[in-house]
Structure 1
Protein backbone atom coordinates (compact mmCIF):
# COMPACT_ATOMS: atom_id res chain seq x y z
CA UNK A 1 0.00 0.00 0.00
CA UNK A 2 2.65 2.52 1.00
CA UNK A 3 4.68 1.77 -2.14
CA UNK A 4 1.81 2.76 -4.41
CA UNK A 5 1.05 5.83 -2.29
CA UNK A 6 4.65 7.03 -2.52
CA UNK A 7 4.24 7.28 -6.29
CA UNK A 8 1.58 9.98 -5.77
CA UNK A 9 3.82 12.20 -3.58
CA UNK A 10 5.74 14.63 -5.85
CA UNK A 11 7.44 16.19 -2.82
CA UNK A 12 8.97 12.86 -1.74
CA UNK A 13 12.71 12.71 -2.42
CA UNK A 14 13.19 9.03 -1.63
CA UNK A 15 12.59 6.27 0.90
CA UNK A 16 14.41 3.35 2.47
CA UNK A 17 13.16 0.07 3.92
CA UNK A 18 14.18 -0.70 7.52
CA UNK A 19 15.33 -3.33 8.07
CA UNK A 20 16.56 -5.08 4.94
CA UNK A 21 17.67 -8.25 6.74
CA UNK A 22 16.40 -10.03 9.86
CA UNK A 23 18.61 -9.45 12.90
CA UNK A 24 19.07 -10.88 16.37
CA UNK A 25 17.54 -9.18 19.40
CA UNK A 26 17.37 -10.12 23.10
CA UNK A 27 13.86 -8.69 23.50
CA UNK A 28 11.96 -11.11 21.22
CA UNK A 29 12.34 -14.57 22.81
CA UNK A 30 8.80 -15.56 21.77
CA UNK A 31 9.07 -14.75 18.06
CA UNK A 32 8.50 -17.66 15.62
CA UNK A 33 12.29 -17.80 15.31
CA UNK A 34 13.30 -16.99 18.90
CA UNK A 35 15.39 -13.88 19.54
CA UNK A 36 15.06 -12.72 15.95
CA UNK A 37 13.50 -9.53 14.61
CA UNK A 38 11.86 -10.90 11.46
CA UNK A 39 10.75 -7.66 9.82
CA UNK A 40 13.41 -7.84 7.12
CA UNK A 41 12.66 -8.58 3.48
CA UNK A 42 15.33 -11.31 3.55
CA UNK A 43 16.31 -13.80 6.24
CA UNK A 44 19.74 -13.80 7.88
CA UNK A 45 21.07 -16.17 5.20
CA UNK A 46 19.70 -13.79 2.52
CA UNK A 47 16.80 -16.08 1.60
CA UNK A 48 14.31 -13.74 -0.05
CA UNK A 49 10.89 -13.39 1.56
CA UNK A 50 7.68 -12.62 -0.32
CA UNK A 51 8.01 -8.93 0.62
CA UNK A 52 11.33 -8.74 -1.24
CA UNK A 53 9.54 -9.22 -4.55
CA UNK A 54 6.89 -6.63 -3.70
CA UNK A 55 9.61 -4.00 -3.30
CA UNK A 56 11.41 -5.29 -6.38
CA UNK A 57 8.26 -4.86 -8.47
CA UNK A 58 8.13 -1.16 -7.55
CA UNK A 59 11.78 -0.18 -7.20
CA UNK A 60 13.63 -1.93 -10.04
CA UNK A 61 13.71 -1.55 -13.81
CA UNK A 62 15.04 -4.95 -14.91
CA UNK A 63 11.99 -7.06 -15.89
CA UNK A 64 10.90 -9.45 -13.12
CA UNK A 65 7.86 -11.48 -12.15
CA UNK A 66 7.01 -13.50 -9.04
CA UNK A 67 3.95 -15.53 -8.10
CA UNK A 68 3.10 -14.84 -4.48
CA UNK A 69 3.40 -17.82 -2.15
CA UNK A 70 6.46 -19.91 -3.03
CA UNK A 71 6.90 -20.63 0.68
CA UNK A 72 3.41 -22.17 1.01
CA UNK A 73 3.38 -25.72 -0.44
CA UNK A 74 -0.18 -26.39 0.77
CA UNK A 75 -3.24 -24.09 0.50
CA UNK A 76 -6.65 -24.67 2.01
CA UNK A 77 -10.23 -23.91 0.98
CA UNK A 78 -13.60 -25.33 0.03
CA UNK A 79 -14.09 -27.35 -3.14
CA UNK A 80 -15.10 -25.00 -5.96
CA UNK A 81 -14.16 -21.89 -3.99
CA UNK A 82 -12.39 -19.12 -5.89
CA UNK A 83 -8.95 -18.26 -4.52
CA UNK A 84 -6.92 -15.17 -5.34
CA UNK A 85 -3.55 -15.68 -7.02
CA UNK A 86 -1.34 -12.59 -6.86
CA UNK A 87 1.62 -11.81 -9.09
CA UNK A 88 4.23 -9.14 -8.44
CA UNK A 89 5.96 -7.70 -11.48
CA UNK A 90 7.33 -4.47 -12.93
CA UNK A 91 6.29 -5.56 -16.42
CA UNK A 92 3.51 -3.93 -18.41
CA UNK A 93 1.34 -7.04 -18.59
CA UNK A 94 1.17 -10.61 -17.35
CA UNK A 95 -0.73 -13.76 -18.31
CA UNK A 96 -1.52 -16.42 -15.72
CA UNK A 97 -1.83 -20.15 -16.43
CA UNK A 98 -3.31 -22.63 -13.96
CA UNK A 99 -2.89 -26.31 -14.81
CA UNK A 100 -2.06 -25.36 -18.38
CA UNK A 101 -5.14 -23.17 -18.93
CA UNK A 102 -4.86 -19.42 -19.46
CA UNK A 103 -6.66 -17.31 -16.86
CA UNK A 104 -6.28 -14.24 -19.05
CA UNK A 105 -3.97 -11.28 -19.49
CA UNK A 106 -3.82 -8.41 -16.98
CA UNK A 107 -2.31 -4.95 -17.37
CA UNK A 108 -0.20 -3.64 -14.50
CA UNK A 109 -1.51 -0.54 -12.73
CA UNK A 110 0.72 0.51 -9.84
CA UNK A 111 -2.24 2.24 -8.13
CA UNK A 112 -4.47 -0.85 -8.18
CA UNK A 113 -4.00 -2.53 -4.78
CA UNK A 114 -3.11 -5.34 -4.20
CA UNK A 115 -0.40 -6.58 -6.57
CA UNK A 116 -0.77 -3.60 -8.91
CA UNK A 117 -3.83 -5.21 -10.47
CA UNK A 118 -2.02 -8.48 -11.30
CA UNK A 119 -4.43 -10.75 -9.43
CA UNK A 120 -6.78 -13.47 -10.58
CA UNK A 121 -9.63 -15.26 -8.78
CA UNK A 122 -9.57 -18.89 -9.89
CA UNK A 123 -10.91 -22.27 -8.87
CA UNK A 124 -8.15 -24.70 -7.94
CA UNK A 125 -8.21 -28.46 -8.32
CA UNK A 126 -8.16 -30.59 -5.22
CA UNK A 127 -4.61 -31.87 -4.89
CA UNK A 128 -1.69 -30.65 -6.96
CA UNK A 129 -1.95 -27.43 -8.99
CA UNK A 130 0.63 -26.04 -11.40
CA UNK A 131 0.73 -22.24 -11.65
CA UNK A 132 2.75 -20.32 -14.24
CA UNK A 133 2.94 -16.68 -15.26
CA UNK A 134 4.45 -15.01 -18.31
CA UNK A 135 5.11 -11.26 -18.08
CA UNK A 136 6.26 -8.88 -20.81
CA UNK A 137 8.02 -5.53 -20.79
CA UNK A 138 8.77 -4.06 -24.21
CA UNK A 139 10.43 -6.96 -26.08
CA UNK A 140 11.52 -8.83 -22.93
CA UNK A 141 9.60 -11.83 -21.55
CA UNK A 142 10.09 -13.27 -18.05
CA UNK A 143 8.41 -16.22 -16.34
CA UNK A 144 7.79 -17.76 -12.95
CA UNK A 145 6.15 -21.04 -11.91
CA UNK A 146 5.30 -23.03 -8.82
CA UNK A 147 3.28 -26.06 -7.79
CA UNK A 148 1.29 -26.54 -4.62
CA UNK A 149 -1.40 -28.73 -3.11
CA UNK A 150 -4.94 -27.44 -2.59
CA UNK A 151 -6.34 -29.13 0.50
CA UNK A 152 -10.13 -29.24 0.91
CA UNK A 153 -10.26 -31.62 3.87
CA UNK A 154 -10.90 -29.99 7.23
CA UNK A 155 -8.57 -31.02 10.02
CA UNK A 156 -9.15 -31.82 13.65
CA UNK A 157 -7.00 -31.75 16.74
CA UNK A 158 -3.27 -32.45 16.14
CA UNK A 159 -2.58 -36.13 16.81
CA UNK A 160 0.84 -36.96 15.42
CA UNK A 161 4.04 -35.63 13.94
CA UNK A 162 5.57 -37.09 10.78
CA UNK A 163 8.96 -36.47 9.17
CA UNK A 164 10.22 -36.95 5.63
CA UNK A 165 13.10 -35.97 3.36
CA UNK A 166 12.45 -32.92 1.20
CA UNK A 167 15.81 -32.80 -0.55
CA UNK A 168 19.19 -34.52 -0.45
CA UNK A 169 22.51 -33.10 -1.61
CA UNK A 170 26.09 -34.34 -1.57
CA UNK A 171 26.44 -34.10 2.21
CA UNK A 172 23.24 -32.39 3.38
CA UNK A 173 19.64 -33.49 3.81
CA UNK A 174 16.57 -31.28 4.25
CA UNK A 175 13.91 -32.70 6.56
CA UNK A 176 10.29 -31.56 6.85
CA UNK A 177 8.15 -32.19 9.93
CA UNK A 178 4.35 -31.94 9.64
CA UNK A 179 1.61 -32.00 12.26
CA UNK A 180 -1.38 -34.18 11.30
CA UNK A 181 -4.72 -35.04 12.86
CA UNK A 182 -5.92 -38.61 13.52
CA UNK A 183 -7.06 -38.90 9.87
CA UNK A 184 -3.65 -37.86 8.51
CA UNK A 185 -4.91 -34.43 7.43
CA UNK A 186 -2.32 -31.68 7.80
CA UNK A 187 -3.21 -29.13 10.48
CA UNK A 188 -2.57 -26.01 8.43
CA UNK A 189 -3.28 -23.56 11.24
CA UNK A 190 -0.92 -25.27 13.70
CA UNK A 191 1.66 -22.89 15.16
CA UNK A 192 3.02 -25.16 17.90
CA UNK A 193 6.65 -24.99 18.96
CA UNK A 194 8.86 -27.78 17.66
CA UNK A 195 12.29 -28.89 18.83
CA UNK A 196 14.64 -30.87 16.59
CA UNK A 197 17.38 -33.17 17.87
CA UNK A 198 19.96 -35.53 16.41
CA UNK A 199 21.88 -38.61 17.55
CA UNK A 200 24.65 -40.16 15.48
CA UNK A 201 27.33 -39.02 13.06
CA UNK A 202 25.50 -36.07 11.52
CA UNK A 203 24.98 -32.51 12.69
CA UNK A 204 21.95 -30.22 12.73
CA UNK A 205 22.52 -27.01 10.81
CA UNK A 206 21.03 -24.83 13.52
CA UNK A 207 21.60 -21.54 15.35
CA UNK A 208 21.28 -19.76 12.00
CA UNK A 209 18.45 -17.49 13.11
CA UNK A 210 16.35 -18.55 10.11
CA UNK A 211 13.07 -20.41 9.66
CA UNK A 212 14.90 -23.45 8.25
CA UNK A 213 18.04 -23.21 10.38
CA UNK A 214 16.79 -23.32 13.96
CA UNK A 215 16.66 -26.23 16.40
CA UNK A 216 13.69 -24.64 18.21
CA UNK A 217 11.13 -22.88 16.04
CA UNK A 218 7.41 -22.28 15.63
CA UNK A 219 5.51 -24.32 13.04
CA UNK A 220 4.16 -22.39 10.07
CA UNK A 221 1.14 -23.85 8.28
CA UNK A 222 1.64 -26.92 10.43
CA UNK A 223 5.17 -27.62 9.23
CA UNK A 224 8.83 -26.87 9.87
CA UNK A 225 12.09 -27.58 8.05
CA UNK A 226 15.64 -28.31 9.22
CA UNK A 227 18.86 -29.18 7.37
CA UNK A 228 21.39 -31.81 8.46
CA UNK A 229 25.05 -32.36 7.60
CA UNK A 230 25.29 -36.12 7.14
CA UNK A 231 29.12 -36.31 7.38
CA UNK A 232 28.98 -39.61 5.50
CA UNK A 233 27.56 -41.49 8.48
CA UNK A 234 24.29 -42.57 10.05
CA UNK A 235 21.99 -40.43 12.18
CA UNK A 236 18.57 -40.38 13.77
CA UNK A 237 16.75 -37.03 13.73
CA UNK A 238 13.98 -36.36 16.25
CA UNK A 239 11.19 -33.79 16.32
CA UNK A 240 9.21 -33.04 19.45
CA UNK A 241 5.95 -31.10 19.82
CA UNK A 242 4.14 -30.99 23.15
CA UNK A 243 0.94 -33.12 23.38
CA UNK A 244 1.87 -35.51 20.51
CA UNK A 245 4.40 -38.38 20.34
CA UNK A 246 7.96 -37.53 19.32
CA UNK A 247 8.77 -38.36 15.68
CA UNK A 248 12.00 -39.89 14.36
CA UNK A 249 13.62 -40.40 10.98
CA UNK A 250 16.77 -42.40 10.18
CA UNK A 251 19.41 -41.06 7.83
Structure 2
Protein backbone atom coordinates (compact mmCIF):
# COMPACT_ATOMS: atom_id res chain seq x y z
CA UNK A 1 0.00 0.00 0.00
CA UNK A 2 1.53 3.32 -1.05
CA UNK A 3 3.13 5.21 1.83
CA UNK A 4 2.38 2.48 4.39
CA UNK A 5 5.04 0.64 6.43
CA UNK A 6 2.95 -1.51 8.76
CA UNK A 7 0.46 -4.26 7.99
CA UNK A 8 -3.09 -3.39 9.05
CA UNK A 9 -5.82 -5.87 8.17
CA UNK A 10 -8.63 -3.63 9.46
CA UNK A 11 -7.65 -0.91 6.98
CA UNK A 12 -6.63 -3.43 4.28
CA UNK A 13 -3.09 -2.02 4.26
CA UNK A 14 0.10 -3.94 3.49
CA UNK A 15 3.63 -2.84 4.39
CA UNK A 16 6.06 -1.60 1.73
CA UNK A 17 8.80 -3.29 3.77
CA UNK A 18 7.30 -6.68 2.91
CA UNK A 19 3.86 -7.71 4.09
CA UNK A 20 3.38 -10.82 6.22
CA UNK A 21 -0.02 -11.38 4.64
CA UNK A 22 0.01 -14.08 2.00
CA UNK A 23 -1.57 -14.01 -1.45
CA UNK A 24 -2.27 -17.77 -1.25
CA UNK A 25 -2.69 -18.61 2.45
CA UNK A 26 -5.13 -17.13 5.00
CA UNK A 27 -4.11 -14.69 7.71
CA UNK A 28 -0.74 -13.33 8.75
CA UNK A 29 2.13 -15.73 8.09
CA UNK A 30 5.85 -16.18 8.70
CA UNK A 31 8.21 -14.45 6.22
CA UNK A 32 9.29 -17.68 4.50
CA UNK A 33 5.77 -19.01 3.89
CA UNK A 34 4.32 -19.08 0.35
CA UNK A 35 2.85 -15.87 -1.02
CA UNK A 36 3.91 -13.51 1.78
CA UNK A 37 4.47 -10.05 0.36
CA UNK A 38 3.17 -11.15 -3.06
CA UNK A 39 3.88 -14.03 -5.40
CA UNK A 40 6.21 -12.15 -7.77
CA UNK A 41 8.41 -9.84 -5.74
CA UNK A 42 10.38 -7.30 -7.83
CA UNK A 43 13.82 -8.57 -6.77
CA UNK A 44 12.85 -12.17 -7.51
CA UNK A 45 11.45 -11.18 -10.92
CA UNK A 46 14.67 -9.48 -12.02
CA UNK A 47 16.85 -12.19 -10.50
CA UNK A 48 14.96 -14.79 -12.54
CA UNK A 49 15.41 -12.66 -15.66
CA UNK A 50 19.17 -12.43 -15.09
CA UNK A 51 19.47 -16.18 -14.53
CA UNK A 52 17.70 -16.98 -17.80
CA UNK A 53 19.66 -15.21 -20.52
CA UNK A 54 17.36 -16.42 -23.29
CA UNK A 55 14.51 -14.27 -21.94
CA UNK A 56 13.96 -11.02 -23.81
CA UNK A 57 12.15 -9.29 -20.96
CA UNK A 58 9.49 -9.67 -18.29
CA UNK A 59 5.75 -9.05 -18.05
CA UNK A 60 4.93 -7.27 -14.80
CA UNK A 61 1.54 -7.97 -13.24
CA UNK A 62 0.77 -5.25 -12.63
CA UNK A 63 2.08 -1.78 -13.24
CA UNK A 64 -0.96 -0.23 -11.54
CA UNK A 65 -3.33 -1.44 -8.85
CA UNK A 66 -6.83 -2.12 -10.16
CA UNK A 67 -10.31 -2.54 -8.71
CA UNK A 68 -11.14 -6.13 -7.88
CA UNK A 69 -8.96 -8.94 -6.50
CA UNK A 70 -8.29 -7.24 -3.15
CA UNK A 71 -6.07 -10.13 -1.98
CA UNK A 72 -4.78 -10.69 0.62
CA UNK A 73 -7.92 -9.10 2.09
CA UNK A 74 -11.63 -9.10 1.41
CA UNK A 75 -14.28 -6.42 1.98
CA UNK A 76 -13.87 -3.54 2.63
CA UNK A 77 -10.80 -3.93 0.41
CA UNK A 78 -11.78 -3.20 -3.20
CA UNK A 79 -8.50 -3.05 -5.12
CA UNK A 80 -5.41 -5.13 -5.72
CA UNK A 81 -2.21 -4.21 -3.90
CA UNK A 82 0.58 -5.65 -6.05
CA UNK A 83 0.94 -2.82 -8.55
CA UNK A 84 4.05 -0.68 -8.93
CA UNK A 85 1.75 2.33 -8.57
CA UNK A 86 -1.56 2.64 -6.75
CA UNK A 87 -4.93 2.91 -8.53
CA UNK A 88 -4.34 6.63 -9.12
CA UNK A 89 -0.85 6.28 -10.57
CA UNK A 90 1.08 7.54 -7.53
CA UNK A 91 4.39 5.67 -7.30
CA UNK A 92 5.03 3.09 -4.60
CA UNK A 93 8.54 2.36 -3.35
CA UNK A 94 8.86 -0.62 -5.72
CA UNK A 95 8.54 1.79 -8.66
CA UNK A 96 11.92 3.23 -7.70
CA UNK A 97 13.46 -0.23 -7.45
CA UNK A 98 12.73 -0.79 -11.13
CA UNK A 99 13.92 2.73 -11.90
CA UNK A 100 17.24 2.00 -10.16
CA UNK A 101 17.68 -1.14 -12.25
CA UNK A 102 16.50 0.10 -15.63
CA UNK A 103 17.69 3.71 -15.92
CA UNK A 104 21.10 5.38 -16.21
CA UNK A 105 20.30 8.90 -14.97
CA UNK A 106 21.55 9.07 -11.35
CA UNK A 107 18.74 8.59 -8.85
CA UNK A 108 18.28 7.91 -5.14
CA UNK A 109 15.06 6.94 -3.36
CA UNK A 110 15.00 6.70 0.43
CA UNK A 111 12.16 5.29 2.51
CA UNK A 112 10.13 5.13 4.72
CA UNK A 113 8.74 8.59 5.44
CA UNK A 114 10.15 10.16 8.60
CA UNK A 115 7.04 10.77 10.72
CA UNK A 116 7.03 8.59 13.83
CA UNK A 117 3.39 7.76 13.23
CA UNK A 118 3.21 4.63 11.11
CA UNK A 119 6.82 3.48 11.61
CA UNK A 120 7.98 0.34 13.40
CA UNK A 121 10.48 1.45 16.03
CA UNK A 122 12.09 -1.28 18.15
CA UNK A 123 13.97 -0.05 21.22
CA UNK A 124 14.43 3.31 19.55
CA UNK A 125 15.77 1.86 16.28
CA UNK A 126 14.08 1.71 12.88
CA UNK A 127 14.99 0.55 9.38
CA UNK A 128 15.85 2.77 6.42
CA UNK A 129 16.08 1.43 2.87
CA UNK A 130 17.45 2.98 -0.31
CA UNK A 131 17.08 2.19 -4.00
CA UNK A 132 19.70 3.82 -6.21
CA UNK A 133 21.73 3.35 -9.37
CA UNK A 134 24.65 5.35 -7.96
CA UNK A 135 28.01 3.74 -7.18
CA UNK A 136 27.95 4.71 -3.50
CA UNK A 137 25.29 6.04 -1.13
CA UNK A 138 25.78 7.73 2.24
CA UNK A 139 22.98 8.13 4.79
CA UNK A 140 22.64 11.12 7.12
CA UNK A 141 20.19 11.97 9.90
CA UNK A 142 20.21 15.59 11.04
CA UNK A 143 23.69 16.01 9.60
CA UNK A 144 25.19 12.91 11.24
CA UNK A 145 26.54 10.27 8.87
CA UNK A 146 25.55 6.64 9.35
CA UNK A 147 28.07 5.43 6.84
CA UNK A 148 28.70 5.21 3.13
CA UNK A 149 27.93 1.95 1.36
CA UNK A 150 28.82 0.56 -2.02
CA UNK A 151 25.58 0.20 -3.89
CA UNK A 152 23.85 -3.15 -4.19
CA UNK A 153 21.52 -3.60 -7.15
CA UNK A 154 18.84 -4.99 -4.83
CA UNK A 155 18.99 -1.95 -2.56
CA UNK A 156 20.67 -0.89 0.67
CA UNK A 157 19.49 -1.03 4.27
CA UNK A 158 20.45 0.68 7.54
CA UNK A 159 19.10 0.35 11.06
CA UNK A 160 19.44 3.67 12.85
CA UNK A 161 18.09 5.36 15.99
CA UNK A 162 14.91 7.25 15.24
CA UNK A 163 14.81 10.95 15.94
CA UNK A 164 12.67 13.53 14.16
CA UNK A 165 14.32 15.82 11.64
CA UNK A 166 15.85 15.39 8.20
CA UNK A 167 16.85 12.04 6.75
CA UNK A 168 19.14 12.46 3.75
CA UNK A 169 20.71 10.04 1.28
CA UNK A 170 23.55 11.23 -0.97
CA UNK A 171 24.46 9.14 -3.99
CA UNK A 172 27.59 9.49 -6.12
CA UNK A 173 27.85 8.19 -9.68
CA UNK A 174 31.08 9.03 -11.50
CA UNK A 175 31.28 12.85 -11.23
CA UNK A 176 27.62 13.38 -10.35
CA UNK A 177 26.09 13.74 -6.90
CA UNK A 178 22.39 13.45 -6.16
CA UNK A 179 20.43 13.47 -2.92
CA UNK A 180 17.00 12.56 -1.59
CA UNK A 181 15.47 13.65 1.71
CA UNK A 182 12.66 12.75 4.07
CA UNK A 183 11.61 15.33 6.64
CA UNK A 184 9.51 15.00 9.76
CA UNK A 185 6.42 17.14 9.31
CA UNK A 186 4.02 18.86 11.65
CA UNK A 187 0.22 18.61 11.40
CA UNK A 188 -1.44 19.23 8.05
CA UNK A 189 -1.97 22.96 7.61
CA UNK A 190 -2.93 23.30 3.92
CA UNK A 191 -2.50 21.66 0.52
CA UNK A 192 -0.55 22.31 -2.66
CA UNK A 193 -1.73 21.60 -6.20
CA UNK A 194 0.46 20.71 -9.17
CA UNK A 195 -0.38 19.44 -12.63
CA UNK A 196 0.88 15.90 -13.20
CA UNK A 197 -0.46 15.47 -16.73
CA UNK A 198 -1.81 17.81 -19.40
CA UNK A 199 -3.58 16.26 -22.37
CA UNK A 200 -5.71 17.65 -25.15
CA UNK A 201 -8.96 17.03 -23.27
CA UNK A 202 -7.99 16.07 -19.72
CA UNK A 203 -5.60 17.10 -16.95
CA UNK A 204 -4.51 15.36 -13.76
CA UNK A 205 -3.70 17.44 -10.68
CA UNK A 206 -1.84 16.13 -7.64
CA UNK A 207 -3.00 17.53 -4.31
CA UNK A 208 -0.50 17.20 -1.44
CA UNK A 209 -0.95 17.95 2.25
CA UNK A 210 1.72 20.21 3.79
CA UNK A 211 2.43 21.60 7.25
CA UNK A 212 2.80 25.25 8.26
CA UNK A 213 6.43 25.27 7.06
CA UNK A 214 5.63 23.80 3.66
CA UNK A 215 6.90 20.29 4.47
CA UNK A 216 4.91 17.49 2.87
CA UNK A 217 2.85 15.50 5.38
CA UNK A 218 3.21 11.83 4.34
CA UNK A 219 0.52 10.64 6.76
CA UNK A 220 -2.08 13.31 5.96
CA UNK A 221 -5.66 12.02 5.76
CA UNK A 222 -7.73 15.20 6.02
CA UNK A 223 -10.80 15.94 3.92
CA UNK A 224 -10.11 18.23 0.94
CA UNK A 225 -12.67 20.24 -1.05
CA UNK A 226 -11.91 20.88 -4.73
CA UNK A 227 -13.31 23.50 -7.10
CA UNK A 228 -12.50 23.96 -10.79
CA UNK A 229 -13.07 26.70 -13.35
CA UNK A 230 -12.90 26.12 -17.12
CA UNK A 231 -13.41 22.42 -16.59
CA UNK A 232 -15.34 19.65 -14.89
CA UNK A 233 -14.25 17.34 -12.09
CA UNK A 234 -14.58 13.82 -13.46
CA UNK A 235 -13.29 12.27 -10.28
CA UNK A 236 -11.21 12.49 -7.14
CA UNK A 237 -9.14 9.48 -6.08
CA UNK A 238 -6.52 8.82 -3.42
CA UNK A 239 -5.23 5.27 -3.95
CA UNK A 240 -6.62 3.92 -0.67
CA UNK A 241 -7.42 0.24 -1.35
CA UNK A 242 -10.40 0.44 1.02
CA UNK A 243 -11.84 3.83 -0.05
CA UNK A 244 -15.60 3.32 -0.45
CA UNK A 245 -16.64 6.97 -0.82
CA UNK A 246 -16.95 7.01 -4.62
CA UNK A 247 -15.09 9.16 -7.11
CA UNK A 248 -17.63 11.42 -8.78
CA UNK A 249 -17.41 14.04 -6.05
CA UNK A 250 -15.97 17.40 -5.10
CA UNK A 251 -14.36 16.41 -1.82
CA UNK A 252 -12.29 13.47 -0.64
CA UNK A 253 -9.77 12.58 2.04
CA UNK A 254 -6.05 12.59 1.42
CA UNK A 255 -4.42 9.18 1.66
CA UNK A 256 -0.77 8.93 2.66
CA UNK A 257 -0.67 12.66 2.04
CA UNK A 258 -2.00 12.72 -1.52
CA UNK A 259 -5.07 13.01 -3.71
CA UNK A 260 -5.55 13.15 -7.49
CA UNK A 261 -8.12 15.28 -9.33
CA UNK A 262 -9.11 14.22 -12.86
CA UNK A 263 -10.37 17.23 -14.82
CA UNK A 264 -12.13 17.40 -18.19
CA UNK A 265 -11.18 20.66 -19.90
CA UNK A 266 -13.50 23.11 -21.56
CA UNK A 267 -12.48 23.51 -25.24
CA UNK A 268 -9.84 26.20 -25.73
CA UNK A 269 -9.56 27.02 -22.02
CA UNK A 270 -7.01 26.31 -19.29
CA UNK A 271 -8.55 24.67 -16.21
CA UNK A 272 -8.05 26.50 -12.94
CA UNK A 273 -8.22 24.33 -9.83
CA UNK A 274 -8.58 25.32 -6.20
CA UNK A 275 -8.21 22.92 -3.28
CA UNK A 276 -8.44 23.48 0.46
CA UNK A 277 -8.80 21.52 3.67
CA UNK A 278 -12.42 21.18 4.73
CA UNK A 279 -13.26 21.32 8.40
CA UNK A 280 -15.39 18.43 9.58
CA UNK A 281 -17.95 19.56 12.13
Q: State the TM-score, normalizing by the size of structure 2.
A: 0.53
Residues 68, 164 of structure 1: alpha-carbon distance in 2 compared, 3 angstrom cutoff = closer
> CA shift at 1:36, angstroms?
2.5
Matches within 5 A, 1:29-178: 34-70=77-113, 74=117, 75-79=119-123, 81-110=124-153, 115=155, 118-125=156-163, 128-148=164-184, 164-168=188-192
Cα deviations across residues 130-189 of structure 1 (Å, max 9, x unaligned)? 11011111122211011137xxxxxxxxxxxxx95442559x97669xxxxxxxxxxx9x
Bigger strand share: 1
Q: State the TM-score, normalizing by the size of structure 1.
A: 0.58
Cα deviations across residues 72-93 of structure 1 (Å, max 9, x unaligned)? 66324245x3322111001111
1:212 touches 1:226 (CA, 8 Å); kept in 2?
no
Residue among 38, 45, 49 paired with 1:6: 49
Structure 2 counterpart SS, 1:52: helix
Partner residue in 1 for 2:59: 16
Residues 211, 16 of structure 1: alpha-carbon distance in 2 compared, 3 angstrom cutoff = same
C-alpha separation between the residues in 1 aligned to 2:275 and 2:170? 44
Residues 17, 173 of structure 1: alpha-carbon distance in 2 compared, 3 angstrom cutoff = closer
C-alpha separation between the residues in 1 aligned to 2:159 and 2:222? 38
Partner residue in 1 for 2:21: none
> CA shift at 1:18, angstroms?
1.6
C-alpha separation between the residues in 2 aligned to 1:195 and 1:167? 10
> CA shift at 1:50, angstroms?
0.8
Question: What value does the CA root-mean-square deviation take over the aligned residues?
Answer: 4.5
Structure 1 counterpart SS, 2:95: helix
Q: Would you say how many aligned residue pairs link Structure 1 and Structure 2?
A: 194
> CA shift at 1:98, angstroms?
0.9
Consecutive unaligned residues in structure 1, runs of 5 or more: 150-162, 177-187, 189-193, 218-222, 239-247
1:83 touches 1:123 (CA, 8 Å); kept in 2?
yes
2:81 touches 2:241 (CA, 8 Å); kept in 1?
no
Cα deviations across residues 1-48 of structure 1 (Å, max 9, x unaligned)? 3134533333433213121122233x5497698532332212343211
Structure 1 counterpart SS, 2:82: coil
Consecutive unaligned residues in structure 2, runs of 5 or more: 1-42, 195-205, 211-218, 247-254, 262-272
